[in-house]
Structure 1
Amino acid sequence: MNTRKVLYQFGYRRSPDQDCPSPVRHPVIVVGAGPIGLCTAIDLAQRGVPVVLLDDADRIGEGSRGICYSKRTLEILDRLGVAAPCLQKGVTWKIGKVFQRNDLLYAFDLLPEDGHKMPAFINLQQYYLEHALVKRAAELSNLDLRWRNKVIGLRRRNDGVTLTVETPEGAYDLDADWVVAADGARSAIRDMLGLAFRGEVFEDRFLIADVKMKGAFPPERWFWFDPPFHEGHSALLHKQPDDVWRIDLQLGPEADAKAEQSPERVIPRLRQMLGHEDFSLEWVSVYTFQCRRLERFVHGRVIFVGDAAHQVSPFGARGANSGIQDAENLAWKLALVMKGDAPGSLIDTYDLERSAAADENIGHSTRSTDFIAPRSAQELRFRDSVLALARHAPFAQRMVNSGRLSTPSTYETPLSTPDRDQWSSGLRPGAPLPDAPMLQRNGQPIWLLEALGGEETILHVQNGGTVPQGSRVLVIGEDLRDEHGFFMQRFDAKPGSTYLVRPDQHLAARWRSADPAAIEKASRRLKGFDGEHA
């Protein structure tokens, strides 16, 4: 059983490109209007790059699919103009609880401190996120979203790509300087290039169900090892909007995927878990998963993002969050290259940084899977010993792996300038900046990440001396005031401290006292100019 609810449907419209005798050339064509493709297209359009976005469907809303969106993802969505409706609709949470049988082993708080605009996580059905992104895309005059435009052919050239696109009115060709493949786990673009994933395929099967009910469960992440209602396996419960609850039940590798989706199997399992039958099924599926990726994400003028580039298990909400961070990493680099403000080699650093991030996510995801679903007697003994210790020992609680939740990567790459001064803070070059509440010159409140936006920025802490020069400089103490001290604490800041921030709000460099030559060199370095990577 895999019920399908179509919430939003969009009409096909004929493009003027279809009436041209020769292929029309576009700067960027993004293939796939899921969350990752939409974020990539919106980010590029906001940076002044015209984008055509193609999708072979004409609707969104087929099951909730991804639901967990992390703080860093929400910060990116805020810059793209869609965080507000997501926060308004979504279920905010930060507390997780881990159980063995009926016993609570421990609880954790993912954001115990104040001074952040975004919560640790929200739960939101993927179709609501996609709808917010589609509405935002419609507001951008340089973003052309074409439904029922299916890419059926691809030909690479030295200076771009030619796509053959099938529509209800026949096929036509398009030329592109760059193509971004965001067409998901079954990527047609990947197949057209003959590319294969490398990695691991897991055999364990899991039942995923969205259940509509009135429940007294709090908005927390509850995970069970060997619960009495599903002995010998694991279970997960999440709250979503509209009185919908996400339930994951481990089934084992021998489970019959088709049979397990039938109401005759699903309803008794859920009745046993919930203790009542006052619920209805919104969506049911059985899945297996892979932890795999392409060897390279950049193939000439074709760039892969999201599930088209890498796949992970769902434990830890690393799929969509990682993909949206792919989109952010790529968009500013591609925009700079296309405007002539950076060399083409800057795109190679997308592959470098996001391949490393994919490896990090795959590593976390694989370890989570091995702990949740041990594949050997030795792994099972280790897991059970850790769970037994976790009842009493905090150190063992840190070893329990019910799905390490998504965190953004720190990029160890040539775009960052290594520290030369003494710093005690963990915020090192390559890391995403933490947010902080600030006051503007006029006394109006603003969040630090809002003030930064998507531009390269120098942050300088006022010290009465010369203010560094750059295309955009914000002086802490003048342009922005740190009324509550969060900035000074989180940035290990002192008078005169200076920070160079990348357009994706990751730290490029920092100095206790910066000279103009050092800032200029770091600025060129973050743009990927040759000869400054050493």
Structure 2
Amino acid sequence: MLDDRYSLAHRLYPYARSSDQDADVAAHHPAVVIGGGPIGMTVALDLALKGIRTLVLDDHEGVGEGSRAICFAKRTLEICDRLGCGAAMVDKGVVWNLGKVFHGEDMVFEFNLLPEGGHRRPAFINLQQPYFEKFLVERIRQVQAEGAPIEIRGKNRVETLDVADDGARIEVVTPDGPYTITADWVLACDGAGSPTRKALGLGFEGKVFRDSFLIADVRMKADLPVERRFWFEPPFRDAGDSALLHKQPDDIWRIDFQIGWDVDRDAEMKEDRIRARIDQMLPKAEYEIVWTSIYTFQCRRMRSFRHGRVLFVGDSAHQVSPFGARGANGGVQDADNLGWKLAMVMKGEAPEALIDSYDSERCPATDENIRNSTRSTDFITPKSEMSRIFRDAVLHLSRNNDFARPFVNSGRLSTPSIYDGSPLNTADGLPEGPAGARPGAPCPDAPLGDGFLLDRLGEGFVLLAIGQEAPKIRGVGSLSIGTSIPEVLNRYLGAVERALYLIRPDQHVAARWATATPAQIEAALHRARGRKVA
């Protein structure tokens, strides 16, 4: 159910006939993105900014309806900063770092996801997914006007996909009829129901959890703190076994009710039934219902995200339950991981084997998300009486005992993946350095002058030298900083006096040393580019 006044489904890219539809021979495109959701637009924008001619095919003409994903994590915002649209998202979004967990009427504890300062971005913002998509499309329009090689085609639905060793042949259906194009690479960003995945006969393995959750987005003026509130066994009658309350922009509040598996979904979606639940939770509130939906927890993924010249990104490759905000955030990390690798391969700067590291890095990251999401689901919805006794005991102990609080799981919130064991990593040459900046980790941010460190790292490979001068390596940028900034000391040096970091284009650490010779750096650079090192 959707209130039309809440819809952001504007025709941002209305259908227009393209020259490809009148061509005698199928037009060729280096990179074709199937699906114009948040992940498709993210990876398309990234490729275009790297000079790769990219075509987005979407069966709609604009952003989707309803809030859907709303929690966007610090790492996602840092990626969007690099793409040039992070500031607009933060300006519109509701910033929060604090969460509270309740059991019945009693607060069990509260937590701060970003207790330390010196970061440009907050732990999370709440922003309706259509806004997130809208800001990406607006940024694409901006870089288009500046000459970036990117095109979006609305009402262009992929009908068939014939894959070969060197690319694919794609039949597209439009309001004016079908046409055919070819592509070197195809990026399937067409969602959990991915028609591309189904057309290729590829599996999507995992688990569907026997429970249902009702989402209600309501518009109301409420004098409530901006924080994540989660209730186990909420005191408001008929709410179900759990409930969640979040604030969004435009005076919209997201409410999740756990309503069980054996329910009449049509009956639960009736407005009077939804209002009965909300009135019990917020008895004095004046509100209007603007969007509702029912969802089921699912944790599934493909065995491999690469199938020749077809690459699966975001929900088309994996699906997790919403608690923990790991779906869209994980998908943006997919796009961030893939974009620079595909661009380097397409430019002839790296071997095609580099693309395989997308699979070897993002599959374990997905498993981590699924593992955390499954554990959250098992804690929120115990599957046995013994599991429920354990959960309730943990909640009881957590009220007065710090040791029990890490066991409370109301949705382990999204954190960036560390690519331990990646074939692109060089063995840690600074093992006594901070674990949060080890090879495979995303670079921690830190204040630097009148800005922040991540803004200074640029787009390509870069050497970050702390307490020393960065060696000159061809094709590698450099940034040398002192040791006087406390956040730099804590996040990059720890107990050591100086350090040298090789940073990848996605701002993950490829290698680090106290000092390194040009030969050591070159070897690490070759490895990070997917080349074999003797």
- On whether the aligned pair clears a TM of 0.5, the verdict is yes
The 2-side partners of 1:138 and 1:512 are apart by 44
Q: Does 1:471 align with 2:475?
A: yes
The 2-side partners of 1:422 and 1:164 are apart by 52
Question: Are the aligned partners of 1:438 and 1:483 in contact in 2 as well (CA < 8 Å)?
Answer: no
Q: SS at the partner of 2:137?
A: helix
User: Which piece of structure 1 moves more, 220-229 or 4-13?
Assistant: 4-13
Name 1:266's counterpart in structure 2. Answer: 274
Structure 2 gap ranges (5+)? none
Equivalent position to 2:111, from 101, 108, 114? 108
Question: Are the aligned partners of 1:462 and 1:475 in contact in 2 as well (CA < 8 Å)?
Answer: no
Q: Does 1:452 align with 2:452?
A: no
- 1:466 to partner: Cα distance: 7.6
Equivalent position to 1:63, from 48, 56, 66? 66
- 1:421 to partner: Cα distance: 3.9
Question: Are the aligned partners of 2:523 and 2:533 in contact in 1 as well (CA < 8 Å)?
Answer: no
Amino acid at match of 1:224: W
Name 2:40's counterpart in structure 1. Answer: 37
Q: Does 1:154 align with 2:161?
A: yes
Question: Are the aligned partners of 1:460 and 1:473 in contact in 2 as well (CA < 8 Å)?
Answer: no
The 2-side partners of 1:354 and 1:71 are apart by 18
The 2-side partners of 1:61 and 1:285 are apart by 14
Name 1:442's counterpart in structure 2. Answer: none
- 1:495 to partner: Cα distance: 5.1
Equivalent position to 2:187, from 170, 180, 187? 180
Q: Does 1:220 align with 2:227?
A: yes
Question: Are the aligned partners of 1:468 and 1:515 in contact in 2 as well (CA < 8 Å)?
Answer: no
Amino acid at match of 1:321: N
Deviations 1:111-158 (A, max 9, x none): 011110011100001111111101111123311000000001100112
Amino acid at match of 2:460: E
Name 1:127's counterpart in structure 2. Answer: 130
- 1:339 to partner: Cα distance: 0.6
Name 1:202's counterpart in structure 2. Answer: 209
Structure 1 gap ranges (5+)? 440-444
**Identical aligned pairs, as a percentage?**
51
Any residues of structure 2 matched to 1:121-520 within 5 Å, and which? Answer: 121-139=124-142, 140=144, 141-230=148-237, 233-412=241-420, 413-426=422-435, 427-439=437-449, 445-463=450-468, 467-477=471-481, 484-492=485-493, 494=496, 496-520=498-522
The 1-side partners of 2:479 and 2:308 are apart by 40
User: Which piece of structure 1 moves more, 295-304 or 139-148?
Assistant: 139-148
Q: Taking structure 1 as reference, are residues 32 and 422 closer, same or farther at Cα in structure 2, changes over 3 Å only? A: closer
Deviations 1:216-257 (A, max 9, x none): 111100000011104651000000011000000000111122
Question: Are the aligned partners of 2:172 and 2:179 in contact in 1 as well (CA < 8 Å)?
Answer: yes
Question: Are the aligned partners of 2:470 and 2:480 in contact in 1 as well (CA < 8 Å)?
Answer: no
Deviations 1:243-276 (A, max 9, x none): 0000000001111222111102100100110112
Name 1:118's counterpart in structure 2. Answer: 121
- 1:424 to partner: Cα distance: 3.7
Deviations 1:289-348 (A, max 9, x none): 210000110000000000000000001000000000000000000001001111101111
Question: Are the aligned partners of 2:471 and 2:518 in contact in 1 as well (CA < 8 Å)?
Answer: no
> How many residues align structurally?
523
Question: Are the aligned partners of 1:6 and 1:60 in contact in 2 as well (CA < 8 Å)?
Answer: no
The 2-side partners of 1:230 and 1:293 are apart by 36
Equivalent position to 1:48, from 41, 51, 57? 51
Q: Which runs of 4+ in 1 moved over 6 A?
A: none
Q: Does 1:97 align with 2:100?
A: yes
Name 2:7's counterpart in structure 1. Answer: 6
Q: Taking structure 1 as reference, are residues 466 and 278 closer, same or farther at Cα in structure 2, changes over 3 Å only? A: closer
CA RMSD of aligned residues (A): 1.5
The 2-side partners of 1:223 and 1:9 are apart by 36
User: Which piece of structure 1 moves more, 13-22 or 494-503?
Assistant: 494-503
The 2-side partners of 1:177 and 1:73 are apart by 28
Q: Taking structure 1 as reference, are residues 454 and 256 closer, same or farther at Cα in structure 2, changes over 3 Å only? A: farther
Q: SS at the partner of 1:60?
A: coil
The 2-side partners of 1:178 and 1:381 are apart by 52
Amino acid at match of 1:420: G
The 1-side partners of 2:184 and 2:31 are apart by 6
Normalising by the residue count of structure 1, what TM-score does the alignment of the two structures yield? 0.95
The 2-side partners of 1:466 and 1:191 are apart by 49
Q: Taking structure 1 as reference, are residues 517 and 201 closer, same or farther at Cα in structure 2, changes over 3 Å only? A: same
Question: Are the aligned partners of 2:161 and 2:169 in contact in 1 as well (CA < 8 Å)?
Answer: yes
The 2-side partners of 1:217 and 1:118 are apart by 23
Q: Does 1:75 align with 2:78?
A: yes
- 1:6 to partner: Cα distance: 3.5
Q: Taking structure 1 as reference, are residues 475 and 303 closer, same or farther at Cα in structure 2, changes over 3 Å only? A: closer
The 2-side partners of 1:469 and 1:28 are apart by 30
Deviations 1:362-410 (A, max 9, x none): 0000000000011111211111111111111111111000000000100
